[in-house]
Structure 1
Amino acid sequence: MHLKAPQKLEFPAWPQFDSTEREALLRTLDSGRWWRITGDEVVSFEREFAQAHGARHALAVTTGTHALELVLEVMGAGPGAEVIVPAFTFISSSQAAQRLGAVVVPVDVDPDTYCVDPAAVRAAITERTRAIMPVHMAGQLADMDALRALSAETGVPLLQDAAHAHGARWRGEPLGALGSIAAFSFQNGKLMTAGEGGAVLLPDGDQHEEAFLRHACGRPLADRAYHHRTAGSNFRMNEFSAALLRAQLGRLQQQTDVRERHWPVLARLLAEAPGVVPQGTDPRCDRNPHYMAMFQVPGIGEERRARLVDALVERGVPAFAGFRAIYRTAAFWERSAPDTTVDALARACPVTEALSSDCVWLHHRVLLGTEEQMPLVAEAVADALEEV
């Protein structure tokens, strides 16, 4: 065991900002138009974000969770409906459906990419299935070839949870050009951020119009007589957030280039550490923005993993435990729970069970460090494992 104090690494701070964000906020402040209905920052951001992702329409909203909830409502995922969701994901993926009264059906994920397993999705489809929600885990896209074929065969639409996948591409195509709705998050740790926020890319004009109504309490854009045409809520993004996000979008591609360059180096070095298995890649995902640098330590268990995460943080490496299986949280069972048990879901989701106890992720700002730091990160992981 190493007795010397661990070396403290330093990585770029997050969020990143400069005079571009500062000037955007002042521009909005000085305009006196801070509401999306009277200003033009949100509209401009929607246009720019849609263009960057090859989409016909974009709608900016308050959070990534609200983005999922809104489009699930547009897709008709209410009481009596089922939504297929990977068991290994952040709880928002399931809660967005459950808050609408839809039953979430958790299915297992691929052991290499940690994205939803298309075969498990196929086995879970019933006549009540209204949406399939692939989560693009850590920026690695789910198998969109298999999922798009399955959607076309069954008529069940896809809803891409792209909270980790800003700017990603599949076979050269951006997410907005893949023919299905995609929902994004701009929460503080995400690849683009305004502290909170979300957006939806929609290929269909009618869906965009309905989503706009439902995100604005059912009220049309030019309404002055309170003609609320649909049920809904207030999910409108404010002008300050949109101004920040326009600046953040401007730096996304350069940051992605850096992360794309550093991940193969780090992954190779991590794989050399005893017992460490980095998240795999699918070459069809030919632009991965790497929201997380993820790896497994098979068999480590939750308690030792927690000590590993603490040891990495002590070394200056922003590390976190992997997501808990959604069915192993109290939140999952509070409302619209499926008619099954934790044990039954655990038996059906062995990959998720393993990831829940042996997966670790590093914040993407690690990959924004220098290439010379990548060996030091891998060394920190190896040393911390030896310590715990």
Structure 2
Amino acid sequence: MSSIPVQPFLTFPVWPQHGTEEREGLLRVLEQEGWWRNGGSEVDSFEREFAELHGAHRAIATTNGTHALELALSVLGVGPGDEVIVPAFTFIASSLAVQRVGAVPVPCDIRPDTYCLDVEAAARLVTPRTKAVMPVHMAGQIADMDALADLAETAGVAILQDAAHAHSARWRGRRVGEFGTIAAFSFQNGKLMTAGEGGAVLLPDDETHHDAYLRHGCGRPPGDRLYAHLTQGSNFRMNEFSATVLRGQLTRLEAQVALREERSRHLDALLGQIPGVVPQGRDERCDRNSHYMAMVRLPGITQERRLAVVDALIAHGIPAFVAFPPVYRTAGYFQGPAIGDVDEIAKRCPVSEEVGNDCLWLHHRVLLADTPVLDRLAEVFADVLAAR
């Protein structure tokens, strides 16, 4: 039995990061008259700044990313009896949000290179009940928005971008808010900008923005004093504290994404030289990848061995995680509206089956490290894989 050679414990930039912007903003909110969105201006300002950065008409800030998806689905009119095509390989929130509005998520296979939705496979799953297709921009790699636009036109379905990983990403020079579709973001603790929790929905026009505003505040219009609940909804409102933190986070986002772009190419080249390691591929039409995760596959590895590799990387100071399983391989998936069984769905999602079994990922803060640290990371990674 071989052992891993002694390596120095690696250190990476901390996450989340904060500075004077967040500190001053929190004090500003603390001293203002109200702490909810109707008592101040931080949420309004954040929505305006976030929409502007992403080229969207308007934005609505929400309590978290899952609620952002639920709100977006409600605005699209998705409900009981409808189907929404979702990637089989994604965090469970993508399918869970569909179920929470009473609709059926239909898992679709992914591409073996980018791990994004396979649009040709999605086209085969469209039925008269299909209301929307929800691509996930996996780890910051934008899904094929050209093919999705064609699918939306020919099949008459809406496209809802799950952009939880894609802050400031671009596809052929176009920002997430410039496709004329609704997009949902997350600001959970590990995301590329964060307030611990939080979310946002980008809206393409005044009509969808007005509808989203009503629905995120229990159906009440702006300035309502008469409890005029004009539509169905819930309380998805972001508070002023979260909004001011996110305004501070927004000031660093562009520089951090640019640095991750540079560092990711360096790290992928190093990891790709290790036998048995296959980094996530890239569609170069995504000319700005925000790199929420550094993802790699270890084809042929067992799930037990994969977990051991992750534990060994963590022991060396590397923030590593196993990738999520296909959504249909979770108990929670079948506790909501669903069609088919595990074996039936798995048969049409062979790539998701493989990636769900052999993929692992590194937290995006590793891509904020200097290149010598990334060189050592690759050395440790190779030693861990070689050890038995």
TM-score bracket relative to the smaller structure: over 0.9
Which position in structure 2 is the counterpart of 1:242?
A: 243
Q: Find out whether 1:130 has 2:125 as its counterpart.
A: no
Aligned residues: 387
Taking the aligned partners of 1:360 and 1:335, their CA distance within structure 2 comes to 27
Q: What amino acid maps onto 1:51 in structure 2?
A: E
Taking the aligned partners of 2:38 and 2:127, their CA distance within structure 1 comes to 41
Instruction: Please show how residues 111-130 of structure 1 align to structure 2 within 5 Å.
Output: 111-130=112-131
Q: Find out whether 1:374 has 2:380 as its counterpart.
A: no
Taking the aligned partners of 1:7 and 1:115, their CA distance within structure 2 comes to 35
Q: Give the alignment's Cα RMSD to 1 decimal.
A: 0.8
Q: Find out whether 1:347 has 2:347 as its counterpart.
A: yes
Instruction: Please show how residues 234-383 of structure 1 align to structure 2 within 5 Å.
Output: 234-338=235-339, 340-383=340-383
Partner secondary structure for residue 7 of structure 1: coil
Q: Which runs of 4+ in 1 moved over 3 A?
A: 2-6
Taking the aligned partners of 2:38 and 2:190, their CA distance within structure 1 comes to 28
Q: Deviations over 1:148-171 (max 9, x none)?
A: 111111110100000000000010
Which position in structure 1 is the counterpart of 2:386?
A: 386
Partner secondary structure for residue 372 of structure 1: helix
Taking the aligned partners of 2:5 and 2:300, their CA distance within structure 1 comes to 27
Superposition deviation, residue 336 in structure 1: 0.3
Taking the aligned partners of 1:280 and 1:186, their CA distance within structure 2 comes to 25
Contact 2:72–2:183 (CA<8 Å) still a contact in 1? no
Partner secondary structure for residue 148 of structure 2: helix
Partner secondary structure for residue 301 of structure 2: coil
TM-score, with structure 1 as normaliser:
0.98
Which position in structure 1 is the counterpart of 2:188?
A: 187
The 3 A distance-change label for structure 1 pair 117 and 3 is closer
Q: Deviations over 1:344-377 (max 9, x none)?
A: 1111101000011100000000000001112111
Q: What amino acid maps onto 2:344 in structure 1?
A: A
Superposition deviation, residue 3 in structure 1: 5.1
Q: What amino acid maps onto 2:29 in structure 1?
A: T
Q: Deviations over 1:256-303 (max 9, x none)?
A: 111000001100110100100000001110011100000000010210
Partner secondary structure for residue 367 of structure 1: helix
Superposition deviation, residue 250 in structure 1: 0.5
Of stretches 368-377 and 234-243 in structure 1, the one that deviates more from structure 2 is: 368-377
Which position in structure 2 is the counterpart of 1:13?
A: 14
Superposition deviation, residue 33 in structure 1: 2.1
Which position in structure 2 is the counterpart of 1:218?
A: 219
Superposition deviation, residue 323 in structure 1: 1.0
Partner secondary structure for residue 37 of structure 1: helix
Superposition deviation, residue 208 in structure 1: 0.9
Contact 2:5–2:383 (CA<8 Å) still a contact in 1? no
Superposition deviation, residue 74 in structure 1: 1.3
Which position in structure 1 is the counterpart of 2:63?
A: 62
Partner secondary structure for residue 377 of structure 1: helix
Partner secondary structure for residue 368 of structure 2: coil
The 3 A distance-change label for structure 1 pair 234 and 4 is same
Partner secondary structure for residue 39 of structure 2: coil
Q: What amino acid maps onto 2:205 in structure 1?
A: D
Q: What amino acid maps onto 2:235 in structure 1?
A: N
Which position in structure 1 is the counterpart of 2:42?
A: 41
Of stretches 97-106 and 372-381 in structure 1, the one that deviates more from structure 2 is: 372-381
Partner secondary structure for residue 158 of structure 1: strand
Q: Find out whether 1:95 has 2:83 as its counterpart.
A: no
Superposition deviation, residue 179 in structure 1: 1.3
Q: Deviations over 1:226-247 (max 9, x none)?
A: 1100111100000000000000
Partner secondary structure for residue 200 of structure 1: strand
Taking the aligned partners of 1:343 and 1:3, their CA distance within structure 2 comes to 38
Taking the aligned partners of 2:62 and 2:4, their CA distance within structure 1 comes to 50
Taking the aligned partners of 1:297 and 1:269, their CA distance within structure 2 comes to 15
Q: What amino acid maps onto 2:167 in structure 1?
A: H
The 3 A distance-change label for structure 1 pair 3 and 235 is closer
Taking the aligned partners of 1:376 and 1:123, their CA distance within structure 2 comes to 45
Taking the aligned partners of 1:280 and 1:377, their CA distance within structure 2 comes to 20
Partner secondary structure for residue 114 of structure 2: coil
Taking the aligned partners of 1:89 and 1:168, their CA distance within structure 2 comes to 18
Superposition deviation, residue 178 in structure 1: 1.1
Partner secondary structure for residue 371 of structure 2: coil
Q: What amino acid maps onto 1:349 in structure 2?
A: C
Taking the aligned partners of 2:237 and 2:99, their CA distance within structure 1 comes to 21
Q: What amino acid maps onto 2:123 in structure 1?
A: R
Q: Quick one: percent identity of the two aligned structures?
A: 59
Structure 2 portions without partners, runs of 5+: none
TM-score, with structure 2 as normaliser:
0.98
Q: What amino acid maps onto 2:290 in structure 1?
A: P
Q: Deviations over 1:2-28 (max 9, x none)?
A: 454332100000000112111110111
Taking the aligned partners of 2:219 and 2:97, their CA distance within structure 1 comes to 19
Structure 1 portions without partners, runs of 5+: none
Superposition deviation, residue 90 in structure 1: 0.2
